[in-house]
Structure 1
Amino acid sequence: MKHLGILCVFFVMFTCQVQSQTRLPLSDYFFETWNTRSGLPHNSINSLAQTQDGYLWIATWEGLARFNGQEFKLFTRAEINNLPDSGLRALTPTDDGGLLIAGSRGGISLYQYRQWNTQPSASAMVNHIIKSNDDGFWLALENDGVFYRGANSKHDQAIVHNVSAYRVLEDANGVIWAATSDGLYKIVDQQASLITADDGLPNAAVYTLLLTHQGKLIIGSERGAYILKDAVFTAIHPQLSVESISSLLEDNHGDLWFGTINKGIFRLSVAGLEQLDAKGGLPANRILSLLQDRENSIWVGTNAGLFRLREAPFTAWTTKRGLAGDYVRTVLSHSDGSLWVGSSAGLNKIKNNNVTQIEGAKEGSPYSVLSLLEGEDGDVWIGTYTSGVLKVSNNKITPYLNRSNGLGSNEVRGLLLDSKQRLWIGSAMGLTRVEKDGSLVQFTNEKELPSGFILALSEDNKGNVWIGTGNGVVVFNILTEQFSAISFPAQFAAEYGFGFYFDDDYTWMTTDRGLMRYEHSAGKMAILGREQGLPVDKLFQIVAHKDSFWLSSNRGVIQVDRQHVNHVLDEKQKNINIPLVFQLYDEGDGMLSAQVNGGSTPSATVHKDGTIWFATAKGVSALKPELLQASSKVDLPTMIESFSVNGRATALPLDGETVLLPPNVSRLSFQYAGLSFIMPQRLSFQTQLEGFNKEWVNRQHMTGAEYTNLPAGKYTFKVRAGYPNTQWQQNEQEIRFVIQAHYWQKLSFKLMLFFTFLVTIYAIYKYRLYHYKKVEAELTKRVEKQTQDLQEQANAFAYQATHDQLTDMPNRRAFDSWLAANFATYKQQNKILAIAIMDIDHFKRVNDGWSHIVGDKVICEIAKILKSHCEGEQQVARWGGEEFTLVFPNKTAAEAKLMCELLREEIANNDFSVIAAGLHQVTASFGVSDSNNIDDYDRLLSGADQALYKAKNGGRNRTEIM
């Protein structure tokens, strides 16, 4: 008990040293895994390192991989000079920007300034290597022990013999510590002494070492982790004493991370000791290496791949953390600092990172929650899917209003308590208002509303109530107590109103066609949708936070700058298209599901602590905008990774060097990267080629640039990278090169060639002048004749393209073109337009009984009758076969029917026996429709066609109206 008490005291001392703030639980970190399928050469990640230039390096048994955030570049024996084997065991960055690598056959190489400098090999596999303060090297070798190699020396001096050495470390006093199979050795002036049980360590192998930010030595052994304090080693945590610690890391918070042989990783922080293993997402439980990069991500090397944990902008609350259900529809920020979450399986309250289940059930089953509202007394109103409106008081759910006592429908998607303390309830069957005295006022789509399906309720700054429905938006005026519709322009094709946000000048509405901006003063509407650059049509909720709008959708959360959106919409009204800049956040940013639910309110909200919460198909997601801001403040290195000339890779020059290129260069290619591992896909790039252009060219997310057929001269290629929605950092990288000139590209040759050219041109001019005058007259005549012939031919072709060859009437193409061009004009001028489709009855009998020639004559005869009655703007055309179309401008369908009846009777009374003996009568049927209540000409044609079908089915030789 005394020993345990000492450990507890130590643990308190340790946690007091780290920053006094809460930690994100390991279960809330965002996980990513890479393996051979992702481009790694091998799944055993023996060592990890990040060099000063920003690259992440991974040592495996099949070579070295360099990661730029998007892809791995592989280095093996073929790329590393004189390396005896591709199997690599250790990576150690040097203070001057280099990287030491060591391999399974003792190979050692230094990578610096894009060059490999291979060192003499060691006698056995190098488990670890460091460069000491005297510029010598300390080597930890498998089975052979610890060796020292002096600066500029090729010989290794044995310091500790015949043990397996795993790691070496130099402290601030120049003492070398070595982790070996025998235990821990302390080396002073190249004299080694073994640390024994008298010093507090168990009799066990020591695998790893760590020097903390405060200079404390921590060792990881076969039997736990220990820290050196006052010349005695003390166990860090009792639970770790039975674990085999294979790797150690101290992060930027001062928390300690422990990699183990077979139990995954542990983290010791102010929150206590936490464990993450294969059941929690690790690729494997055997941990070989740990690293924190400069963006504060934790990288874990396992024997089954590379694993990364990072504090993503989004964290999720699901059933695993206590929610009643994962399918969340609504989320409410309460004034008491709590967060209420309504799902298909019940209601929860989150406060101080604790989840509380709100008690209440219907017939033994939880309520399916659609909407939430905080009342004036702090109680919470609940809109449900099948049970109407409930109320929460003292964490208990009680029924309030449903169909049995006056509610139009038990499906309630919107709740609002207005400034007069009246409760508005939006259901699937209309709108109900509960007065202060408890009486009910009903509003339905039969009178006040365009649709009874209510999706959203919100009160603006003047006290007016805005109602989003399944067929548009209406506003209840607080002064007149009247409803007025806010009409979406027809060209926007929007119907659903899902959510509202109000500022001084505009009302912003999320719809099924994008984000609508309604200008209060002018009543103008503008839309931000797919055509303006949004990735989706349907937006559910709009949340304003600082300078951004956050828009929820079925594909994730979209962030746009408010001023930028206004600029885009203002310029659009001037017919100027400005590219929309936005960020789409989804599963890659920590969301468990990109499906952010909508159709209920509120489905997103800003909490008191500045987090933004979204209801999703897999729990509720909490966004921390400050994490996005912090990520974008990290220095972003830009690297030019390759330079190709005419398709062949060229060695990158060292700093200050200029590449001399031959004259026959036709194509230059540059590949570059921004070294961010958090948001590599969102980085933007700009390039500039001095000597060719003076402006920076936006490459968006492209990581390559190509130039072709550059003239001879001096050039400097520059590239820079930037985080989303931030200013460009001063991180330009450049390559200087010169394209040499051919002899014919030199100035002297060009001058001589120019003079020769002038003389030749003058001689040719004098010779051709006479010839041109001779043929000028003849050419002029030919041109005039050909022009006349072409014009006549063009006129004939144009006429043939729009007229029927048999009847010489306008054909279907001409008719459709006229109707398409004039229908919108008639609608805009509120004019009526009627059309008729006529079909000759039983025309097949004519063709079969008298021949197709007779049939053609019948068609011509009927065409003559129709044309004889065509007056003014009236149009008639042969639509195809035995069908004709007629247009009656400024006529209703009833008026057009009377005219069609006259034509029908004249056709029926016409004697066709003149055309063929025995053919006395031919009849026709007419179908008529007009543009009343029709928005497009296709539906107008469809109506006439349906009327014709009705006339045919009704016995033919008749006229019907649709």
Structure 2
Amino acid sequence: MLAFLYRRKLSFITLFVFLLPAPLFAQNLFLEKIDVCSTASFCMDCGDPKATCDQFTLDYICDQINRKYILKDAFGSISFQVLVEASGFSCVLSHTDVTNGPLTAELIRYLNGNIWRPAKENGKPVYASVNVIFRFANGKISSQMQRMDLAELKPPGDPAIYNKTTTYANPSLKSYEFTTWTKYNSPLPDNISKSCIVDKSDVLWYTTIKGLTRFDGQNFNPVNEFNSPFNAETDVADINVDKDNNKWVYVDDKMYKYSDAGWQIFDFKKFVPPGAIRILNNRHGDLLFATKAGLVVLRKDKVVVLNKKTIPLLPSSNVYYVYEDSRKRLWIGTSKGCIMIDHNVPTTFNTSNTPLKDTYISNATEDEAGNLYFSLTACNATPGDNDKEGIAILKTNGSWLHYNDKNSGMPSNHVNDMLYDKYEHVLWIGTEQSGIVRFNLKDGWENYHNNNSAMPGYTINKLAQDSKGVIYAATANGLLRIKKK
């Protein structure tokens, strides 16, 4: 939301800015279209050199807006797609302000009146569209050109489906609405994300290698130098939320805590030298940090480190994942295998006749009946599809099941994340190469990817769900939302 005051009239105006997906190859990139431009033929941010205007000109526009409007409480951004004709004249094609407020109208007049240099191909001027983004923060407006990497606009290619025996009818696919945001149709700083989390206020915190963003379902709000210890392009490795709705963010071997008191740095290195690999939590909301030197447990400001010194049967101190089930058993996945600790009694699995032999758990979840679901990664895995991987299920009667692409509807074996959907009572599985798997816990396997649905690609790194059942996926090609129709 952008809130600002017009200096002359001093009237309060509220502008809601939110972005909906638009086809990346459509002529109008953003949702709000202006049908006054001649758009018979143009390319998006093409040419060498590309179409541009001087930063001095954009700074002049911002200076005029800052003089005219009181932007003290404004935050957010508005993006514009500008068509630059071969003659150098410009015309705004589309933008992201769904209210079409007076500020946006004034920015359009400025952009249409700019001095532009057209794009050229083979030395000849051509029609090309470029993007300009105006950001509101710290009581001011700023602007810059937003260049497009045309390679990122290309389809990500075909998913890898190693399962050659299953025909995916996908009967539930029509029940969902798929929405995708990228850095080209939204304020997302980058398309590639490894992690995301939905906090207790249903706000999505979305990490990328070029910045952290919050999304409340309508508005994207960047986490940057104006409201955090990070800048707009900070590489955020991981994020999680504790039982008190504090956010924990791992950046550059440092752990940060965000609470009502603001941002604090957590002195992590005094417990383990290498820093964290993943930020996790148990059923009580205690923080668990998986590191190369052991498992660090933070409980009521007390820290406990579990490694081979404290637990000799631990296969390795290089911990990748940990999960506490409803029976208070602690499952730990390490680089050399798994261990389960039940009331201080450890059990290892490398010599067992279970799917956990010579594998480690990389994710876990549990259904209402107490059945446990583990995604597996093979120890000393080699590139390619590995049948030791897939999904392991520990049923409440103590029996094990192992699903891979040879004996089930799994399209491939390498799993990045899982989520048990308590609203629909199904298991959602995010894969490395095959998109999303929807498993109804019996025999119903469905597989959604960019070739059969509105998904942006096939690499799903993280899944999160809000209190209304809406699912978000951090992918290699943008933010995906899956919403029941």
Query: Does structure 1 residue 555 correspond to structure 2 residue 433?
Result: yes
For 1:559, give the aligned amino acid.
Answer: V
1:776-925 pair list within 5 angstroms: none
Q: Kindly tell me the number of residue pairs found equivalent between the two proteins.
A: 331
| Residue number among 258, 263, 266 corresponding to 1:400 in the alignment | 266
SS of match in other structure, 1:451: coil
Deviation at residue 613 of structure 1 after TM alignment? 1.2
Task: State the SS of the aligned residue for 2:442.
Answer: helix
Structure 2 residue matching 1:543: 3-state secondary structure:
strand
In the other structure, the counterpart of 1:510 is: 375
Query: 2:242: which partner in 1?
Result: 375
What is the CA-CA distance between 1:456 and the residue it aligns to? 2.6
Is 2:362 the partner of 1:495? no
> Could you say which residue in structure 2 is the equivalent of 1:390?
256
Q: From 344, 362, 374, give the equivalent of 1:481.
A: 344
The 1:245–1:442 alpha-carbon spacing in structure 2 relative to 1, beyond 3 Å, is closer
Aligned mate of 2:401, from 526, 534, 539: 526
**TM-score (normalised: structure 1):** 0.31
1:464 is the counterpart of 2:340: no
**1:375-774 correspondence runs (5 A):** 375-384=242-251, 386-394=252-260, 396-403=262-269, 405-419=270-284, 422-444=286-308, 447-477=312-342, 480-486=343-349, 489=353, 495-503=359-367, 504-512=369-377, 513-522=389-398, 524-532=399-407, 533-545=409-421, 546-565=424-443, 581-586=445-450, 589-597=453-461, 603-626=462-485
Unpaired stretches in structure 1, ≥5 consecutive residues: 1-21, 34-236, 247-261, 282-309, 566-579, 598-602, 627-962
What does residue 357 of structure 1 align with?
222
Q: Which amino acid aligns with 1:389?
A: M
The CA distance in 1 between the partners of 2:98 and 2:222, in whole Å, is 27
Where structure 2 has 5 or more consecutive residues not aligned to the other structure, the ranges are 1-15, 27-31, 41-84, 86-90, 109-126, 132-173, 378-388
Percent identity between the aligned chains? 16
Structure number with the bigger relative contact order (C-alpha 8 A, sep ≥ 6) is 2
Task: Please give the alpha-carbon distance, in whole angstroms, between the structure 2 residues aligned to 1:505 and 1:490.
Answer: 18
User: C-alpha displacement at 1:30, in angstroms?
Assistant: 4.3
Alpha-carbon distance in 1 for matches of 2:481, 2:261: 23
| One-letter amino acid of the structure 1 residue matched with residue 448 of structure 2 | L
Counterpart of 1:481, as a letter, is N
- The AA in structure 2 aligned to 1:582 is E
Give the corresponding residue for 2:22: 29
Q: Which amino acid aligns with 1:391?
A: K
3-state SS of 1:496 partner: strand
Separation in structure 1 between the aligned mates of residue 291 and residue 406 of structure 2, nearest angstrom: 32
Structure 1 residues 543 and 442, CA gap change in structure 2 (3 angstroms):
closer
What's the offset of the Cα at 1:609? 3.4
Map residues 1-150 of structure 1 onto 2, 5 A cutoff: 25=19, 28-30=21-23
Q: CA RMSD in A?
A: 4.2
Corresponding residue number in structure 1 for 2:383: none
Q: Deviations over 1:620-656 (max 9, x none)?
A: 3222243xxxxxxxxxxxxxxxxxxxxxxxxxxxxxx
Per-residue CA distance 1:430-450 (angstroms, 9 max, x = gap): 101234252433333872422
SS at match of 1:559: strand
What is the distance in 2 between the residues matched to 1:347 and 1:238?
A: 28
1:24 and 1:346 map into 2 onto residues whose CA distance is: 19
Distance 2:420 2:283 in 1: 21
AA in 2 matched with 1:496: Y
Q: Deviations over 1:142-188 (max 9, x none)?
A: xxxxxxxxxxxxxxxxxxxxxxxxxxxxxxxxxxxxxxxxxxxxxxx
**SS of the counterpart of 1:589?**
coil
The amino acid across from 2:348 in the alignment is A
Distance in 2 separating the partners of 1:31 and 1:493: 45
Structure 1 pair 369–268 and aligned structure 2 pair: CA distance change class (3 A): closer
Per-residue CA distance 1:84-136 (angstroms, 9 max, x = gap): xxxxxxxxxxxxxxxxxxxxxxxxxxxxxxxxxxxxxxxxxxxxxxxxxxxxx
Q: How does 1:275-286 map to 2 (within 5 A)?
A: 279=129
1:723-743 Cα deviation digits (max 9, x unpaired) = xxxxxxxxxxxxxxxxxxxxx
Instruction: Summarize deviations over 1:503-546 as a string: whole Å, max 9, x none.
Output: 22410011131011112322x22111011242211112111221
* Deviation per residue, 1:899-925 (Å, 9 max, x gap): xxxxxxxxxxxxxxxxxxxxxxxxxxx
> Aligned letter for 1:605?
A
Which structure carries more helix by proportion?
Answer: 1
Matches of 2:324 and 2:471, distance apart in 1: 21
User: Which AA in structure 1 matches 2:414?
Assistant: K
Q: Please state how far the C-alpha of 1:592 moved relative to its aligned partner.
A: 3.1
Structure 1 or 2, whichever has the larger Rg, is: 1
The 5-angstrom pairing of residues 173-188 of structure 1 reads none
The question of whether the paired residues in 2 share the 8 Å contact of 1:408 and 1:432 is answered with no
What CA distance in whole angstroms lies between the structure 2 residues aligned with 1:332 and 1:413?
13
**Which residue pairs with 1:329 in the alignment?**
194
Taking a change above 3 Å as real, the CA distance of residues 24 and 497 of structure 1, as seen in their structure-2 partners, is: same
Taking the aligned partners of 1:372 and 1:238, their CA distance within structure 2 comes to 36
How far 1:551 moved relative to its partner? 0.7
Q: Does 1:345 align with 2:210?
A: yes
In the alignment, the residues of structure 2 paired with residue 267 and residue 328 of structure 1 have an alpha-carbon distance, to the nearest angstrom, of 25
By how many angstroms is 1:615 displaced? 1.6
Structure 1 residue 475: Cα displacement: 2.8
SS at match of 1:531: coil
Cα distance in 2 for partners of 1:347, 1:23 equals: 19
Q: What do the CA deviations read for 1:389-439 (whole angstroms, capped 9, x no partner)?
A: 221124954320322x212421331321552x6432211221012342524
Aligned-pair distance for 1:550? 1.3
Deviates more, 1:534-543 or 1:388-397: 388-397
